[in-house]
Amino acid sequence: MYVSFDPLESAALVHQYLTQMVDPAEDYLPYWLVLPNKKPAEAAHCRVDDAELVGSWYEGLTCAMRMLGTEEGEQVRQGFRRHLMRSWGAHGLRFCHPYPWTHTIHASFHEMGYILPALNLITAEFPEDAEAERRTAELIRGMRALVIERKVRTFWSGDFTETEPLFEFPNDVYLAQGGFDLTRHTGRGEQAIRNALMLPALVQRHVQTGDPVALELAVGLANFVLGPSRYFNYNMEFFGHVHSAAWFACGLVELGRVTGDETYILKGKGIYDYIRSISFSFGWVPEYAQWHPPAEEHCETCCVRDMILCARALIRCGYPEYWDDFNRFARNQLMENQIRYTGYMVVDNDRPDADGLTYHDLDRRIRGGFTGGSEPNSISLLRFRSVAGCCVGTAPTALLAVWEDAITQENGAWIVNVPCAKETDALRMESDLPNHGRIRLTAKTACRAGFRRYDWMGRQPVLLHNGQPVAGEEAGGCLTAALAAGDTLTLSFPLRTRDVRETVRGVTFTARWRGCDVVELLPHGEHVRLYQRDLRKKGYYPLPEDVTYTGAVNYGPTQQKQLSAAGKEKSE
């Protein structure tokens, strides 16, 4: 009996992290830095808590709450919002607040890539919030005023007028006192791509409000990165930060969809395809390309999130082949990168919180977080960012995207894209994966519904209407039938365990697949072993004890059934 994909359980876990790993004494300020391997374990405040995190955690908590259909956590969410709406300065930029643990007060354009999506969310959810609207408009116009606009190429052979807008920021740091100081930098390098991380949010702002400055800034930044920055080669390969490149690629695809310029879509697709070529098929994505020795690479959950969202954007632009990645990446590496087991931690609940440090109940509080540095088969506690505040904010956006698109409407029919347990106004979906090759729909109203076909389903899956075989209608890679209220539609297919060897980052692993799920990865890893999905092996899958967000939330209904079945099987 194997553990199945349960997006709601994952949402409940990350909800508890986002509402517990905060500081009530500082109006729910997040803790970015968590050190589970220290004795005792501790979490510490640092500058980034009041920089990108107040934006990304607002967005992440909103996504989790929407999935769960709960208002629990709203007090914490409004704390994030209050932090977000203060500390604004010159040119509409948001600066970090002067806490004791903060040093030079500055804004970085990389961080505006986290601030702007949260502002878009607030202005969409609260259209009456005039301050949020003003801050959003001023931030975009302030950044537009700060860019260098390259208008003429002066070359040895003459002067040539640029025909397309080309925008770049002079630096990646803007000081609250002093503005651009070219003697200072973040040290990250790759300024062109990292300074353009707000691209998807700029496009979204234009979609929401028709803001022409947002679109102009998006086009100018995209053109500069794709052109004079020389960040990407002709095959859209690159050297550097995968998170930045994949996030930028998502923005490119959306920019192309909004403007109708297919060049942007194809460039974004090229970046995605390159990253995919250096990743595992189950969604392990390296944080850097061609920078570290391959065997030293690790996977930041932010990268997995970016690939899921970019696949979604490409699907919407007419590339349905990316549904397979969308499904596999979410149910495999995204799930494995979430912290569920904390039995290794040493906790001192008698030590008082002080000086920006917290100690109490950390073994409980960090459940549901996401790692910033997983090996394909383990999370190493010795690695910096074994739990990462940035990833905890971004991962829920991927969870919500997968949850929303698990069932979509296509050509007048409701289509199952991501098999899991989900209920909508029209249908109830049940999935037996990865234990059996069955996915069932029960119609709540008359409709046409069906399933997207994947290669892992075999060549001839069987469609059953109220238990009887039917031919169904095939179109666009989907198999559908007409249903009356109360009808059931089941897709049945053979499900065999397959061992597939993959070599990435210089290491060969064997993934044990059942359909679209990896149930074991060999060799096993340390310290926190991943892909322990076989409930029949005693102690093999250390599930969490309890998660609190509304009363007591234990395992989802799917997990409860599996645990009961596993116990029954063991007793028999």
For residue 487, is it within any domain?
yes
If you write DSSP's letter for every residue of 93-110 in order, what string do you get?
-B-----TT--S-EEEHH
Cα 98-100-101 angle, rounded to 5 deg: 95
Domain boundary among 459, 492, 525: 492
Q: How far is CA 15 from CA 5, 125, 394, 552, in A?
A: 17, 19, 12, 13
Cα 519-529-46 angle, rounded to 5 deg: 125
For residue 369, is it within any domain?
no
For residue 262, is it within any domain?
no
- Give the DSSP H/E element, type plus range, for residue 254: helix 242-259
The one-letter code for the residue type at 224 is F
User: Domain total for the chain?
Assistant: 2
Relative to beta strand 447-452, strand 413-416 is parallel
Residue numbers of the chain with a pLDDT score lower than 50: 538-572
For residue 369, the model assigns a pLDDT of: 96
For residue 384, the model assigns a pLDDT of: 67
Closest to 517 measured CA to CA, from 431, 407, 398: 431
Could you tell me which residues are beta bridge partners of residue 463? 491
CA pair distance 184, 31, nearest whole angstrom: 26
For residue 504, the model assigns a pLDDT of: 81
Q: Which residue has the tokens 């929407």?
A: 66
Closest to 508 measured CA to CA, from 516, 518, 500: 500
Number of H helices, E strands in the chain: 16, 30
Spatial contact of 242 and 258, defined as CB atoms under 8 Å apart: no
For residue 527, the model assigns a pLDDT of: 80
Query: Residue 257 CB: number of other CB atoms within 10 A?
Result: 20
CA pair distance 66, 68, nearest whole angstrom: 5
The one-letter code for the residue type at 245 is A
Spatial contact of 339 and 370, defined as CB atoms under 8 Å apart: yes
Give the tens place of pLDDT for each residue, 353-378: 999 999 999 999 999 999 998 999 99
Helix 53-68 × helix 7-20 angle, to 10°: 140
CATH number at 426 reads: 2.60.40
Could you tell me which residues are beta bridge partners of residue 160? 153
For residue 208, is it within any domain?
yes
Spatial contact of 313 and 255, defined as CB atoms under 8 Å apart: no
- 242: phi then psi, degrees, rounded to nearest 5: -65, -40
CA pair distance 193, 264, nearest whole angstrom: 15
Give the tens place of pLDDT for each residue, 2-46: 999 999 999 999 999 999 999 999 999 999 999 998 999 999 999
Give the dihedral of Cα atoms 193, 198, 203, 205; nearest 10 deg. Answer: -170
For residue 491, the model assigns a pLDDT of: 98
Whether omega before 83 lies within 30 degrees of 0, making that bond cis, reads no
For residue 560, the model assigns a pLDDT of: 39
Closest to 119 measured CA to CA, from 106, 143, 138, 91: 138
CA pair distance 90, 486, nearest whole angstrom: 60
For residue 191, is it within any domain?
yes
Domain boundary among 231, 259, 278: 231
If you write DSSP's letter for every residue of 423-460 in order, what string do you get?
E-SSEEEEE-TTTSSEEEEEESSSEEEEEE--GGG-S-
pTM: 0.93
Tokens of 27: 């109006």
For residue 294, the model assigns a pLDDT of: 83
For residue 130, is it within any domain?
yes
The one-letter code for the residue type at 411 is N
Letter string b/e over residues 202-239, b meaning 16 or more CB atoms within 10 A of that residue's CB: bbbbbeebebebbbbbbbbbbbbbbeebebbeeebbbe
Relative to beta strand 438-443, strand 427-431 is antiparallel
For residue 293, the model assigns a pLDDT of: 86
For residue 16, the model assigns a pLDDT of: 97
Q: Where does 260-351 have alpha helices with state H?
A: 262-277, 301-316, 323-329, 335-336
For residue 338, is it within any domain?
no
Sequence-distant (6+) residues with CB within 8 A of 404 are none
Domain boundary among 464, 492, 520: 492
What domain range includes position 166? 104-231
Give the tens place of pLDDT for each residue, 437-493: 999 999 999 999 999 999 999 988 999 999 999 999 999 999 999 999 999 999 999
For residue 382, is it within any domain?
no
